Chains A and B, each alone.
Chain A
Amino acid sequence: MHRREFLTTATAGATLVVFPAVLRAQSKEPIRIGFPLPLTGTFAAIAADMQKGAQLAMEELNAKGGAMGRKIEVLFRDDELKPAVGAQRTKELIENQKVDFVVGGLAAHVQMAINEQTKAAKKLYISVSQSDEISAKPDTSPLTFHEALNPTITSRAMATYGMQNLGKKWWIVYADYAWGKQNNAVFTAAITKLGGTILGSTPYPLGKPEFSAHLPKIQAAKPDVIYAVTPGADNVPFLKQAISFGLKKDAKIAQPLHFLYYTKEGGAEVFQDIYGATHFCHELAETLPQAKRYVEAFTKQFKMPPDAYSGYGYNGIMEVARGVELAKSTESDAVANALRKNREYDHYKGKQWWRACDNKSFQDLWILKVRSPQQVKGEWGLFDVIGKVVANEELDRTCAEKGFA
């Protein structure tokens, strides 16, 4: 034995004698959670918000000793909003980084690719963005959980609100990928069922925000309301172009979801009187104590209020930790069973629960309307909460409709 090796061993030995407790805690490997999300591309701003939520959850959990006495470690990876990259990053997280669970994915098409990887590796996956297929057969699995709302719930809620309050004749503009197509289909069915008319519907390629060629036709059709399924960075250019063609004067505009950061970026002048749904906004802090705590913790940490998708990221990590504590295990099967047995949770905005058949989370949602520039409160007070849709399994397709006998 060389002198240096001797010294190292001796020091380690001494530490073992003197600080047994410290060593024991450190020897416990952290629980590792892989988190692929599109840090670049059209959804980059939403992804940054979601990452902050997940990070806050990790820090809050670790401050209380983690789960089962083990620290939580979240490994974020950029999936570039591409299914192939999402699959590759997930595989790398599972095989090389040895993550115990996967949370993440921020697009209907990328989460399917992530889900294929977690299914193959038999790892619990909590999807935290919208998709109809992720919680339905044949794509879902007993280890696939879905924390987010989905197009069915969102578009049914918006159709009901819209038919009562906004108008009967609609035109849909939608991004031509999984989430956009699902919203188009659900919204068309819901409006028709409620006695309204879809005058037309136009697909455009996601992330290519040039709408001018679509607008004259919409203008000529004279709809009461335009339903703009123009997510992420397409949101602001769509509205600006619609306004520049004079469409906002002639028709009301609604969208499935509102995002605080895009609304702030576009400004109240552009977004004024645009309607949309959300599962969370920081204005809820005024009425919900859980939301107040979450908004304050988030704002203290990141110097800005949270946008909606931070909540999904936050809940994804919190639910993994809760499942691990309940199961006293990091085995995916055990954690999934524990979550299904203890379905209810409430981390930041009120009660939610996992439906037994499809591992789908049910939660309240709210209808928002953007304030006029004069009404905006402070830097971030852009939304008026004008309606609430209480969590209800009937808003989604039934278990039978989703392929569960």
Chain B
Amino acid sequence: MSDVSLTALTAQVFTGLVLGGILVLLAIGLSLIFGLMTVVNFAHGSFYMLGAYVAFSVLGLTKSFWATLVLAPLVVGSLGFLVERFLIRRLYGRSPDDPLLLTFGLSLAMVEGVKLLWGKIGLTVDPPKQLAAAVDLGFMNFPIYRLFVIAVTAAVLVALWVFLAKTNVGLIIRAGSRDALMVRALGLNLNRVWLLVFGIGIGMAGLAGVLAGPMRGVYAEMGVEIIIDCFVVVVVGGMGSLAGAIVAGLLIGEIVSLTTFFAPRLAEIVVFVVMAVVLLVRPSGLFGEAGLAE
């Protein structure tokens, strides 16, 4: 490539931040659910897709992007509650394959269901007028909406950290992920905690979908595509590790962005190469604890 200036690379790092941000929002939920419940939620991408579709409809009803940004993840999160309460809960204590198969089936059903409800043809969502323009950052023109996505991701992460580290419920969640039996023995109702965690994780996937819609459009296959990248992030970061999900999500975003700059055709493959290398060198992932899934 001819023009590998510092400006060009800075621009590339900035775009990578947004790609990574969306992945982080998804991977955190995936990792949280796995860490606490040992459920590999294959339907996570489908809830991301559902978030984008629900946002389309809520936006149509409320005409307000800001209301949509709050309401759509709540709707999707509530669906998460229902899925945990009536489907996944029945499978606790059985082999980890069972919830995996259940959520895999669920993801297929959701893609078809969305096509029935919203049609087979993709939809478009516009960002709000205030965020539609580009801003000159000195080294490049950057869309304000993408800066907004970075800001929302950061805000959600801070809120989640406060919730997990500073509240009593957060304490129970962290304890439950260490030793569920012990927490039960202390007389705490873990069922409610699991319900909450699943709902939060799914709600965050929904939020990622709401944020992605105005950038990438809304289409039924969007969840199936992104779930692969999310699993890569979770595996690279370490299954169940929240810090791992954040670091690996941003890392994968940056790697994709920089590879796109130097060799666009390799951008699709390079994430798997990274995963393979991490698995070889550190099988439990960058931040993972060995034996978590056993």
Q: Which residue of chain B has its CB nearest to the CB of A232? A: B122
For residue A326, CB closer than 8 A to chain B, the reply is no
- The smallest C-beta distance from B150 to any residue of chain A, in angstroms, reads 12
For residue B170, CB closer than 8 A to chain A, the reply is no
For residue B251, CB closer than 8 A to chain A, the reply is no
* Chain A 22-43 per-residue mask, 1 if CB under 8 angstroms from chain B, else 0: 0000000000000000011110
For residue A139, CB closer than 8 A to chain B, the reply is no
* Chain B 127-162 per-residue mask, 1 if CB under 8 angstroms from chain A, else 0: 100001110000011110110000000000000000
Within 8 Å CB of B134, what residues of A?
244-246
A214 in contact with B260 given A208-B225, A219-B141, A265-B124 (CB within 8 Å): yes
Interface secondary structure of B, over-half rule:
helix
For residue A48, CB closer than 8 A to chain B, the reply is yes
For residue B59, CB closer than 8 A to chain A, the reply is no
Q: Is the CB of B267 within 8 A of A45?
A: no
Bound: A345/B235 CA distance, A: 59
Q: Is the CB of A233 within 8 A of B217?
A: yes
Q: Which residue of chain A has its CB nearest to the CB of B112? A: A40
For residue B216, CB closer than 8 A to chain A, the reply is yes
Q: Is the CB of B3 within 8 A of A221?
A: yes
Binds B, one of A7-15, A110-118, A199-207: A199-207
Q: Is the CB of B143 within 8 A of A244?
A: yes
Q: Is the CB of A237 within 8 A of B12?
A: no
Q: Is the CB of A176 within 8 A of B141?
A: no
Q: Is the CB of A216 within 8 A of B140?
A: yes
User: B residues engaging A (CB < 8 A)?
Assistant: 1, 3, 5, 7-8, 11-12, 14-16, 18-19, 115, 120-124, 127, 132-134, 140-143, 145-146, 214-217, 219-221, 225, 256-257, 260-261, 264-265, 267-268
For B264, give its contact among A203, A221, A236 (CB under 8 Å): A203
Bound: A220/B3 CA distance, A: 8
Q: Is the CB of B264 within 8 A of A214?
A: yes
Give the interface size class of chain A.
35 or more
What 9 pairs between A and B have smallest CB-CB spacing? A246-B141, A244-B143, A216-B11, A213-B260, A246-B134, A213-B257, A212-B15, A233-B122, A45-B121
For residue A209, CB closer than 8 A to chain B, the reply is yes
Q: Which residue of chain B has its CB nearest to the CB of A233? A: B122
Within 8 Å CB of B120, what residues of A?
39-40, 44, 48
For residue A215, CB closer than 8 A to chain B, the reply is yes
A233 in contact with B260 given A40-B120, A213-B16 (CB within 8 Å): no
- The smallest C-beta distance from B256 to any residue of chain A, in angstroms, reads 6
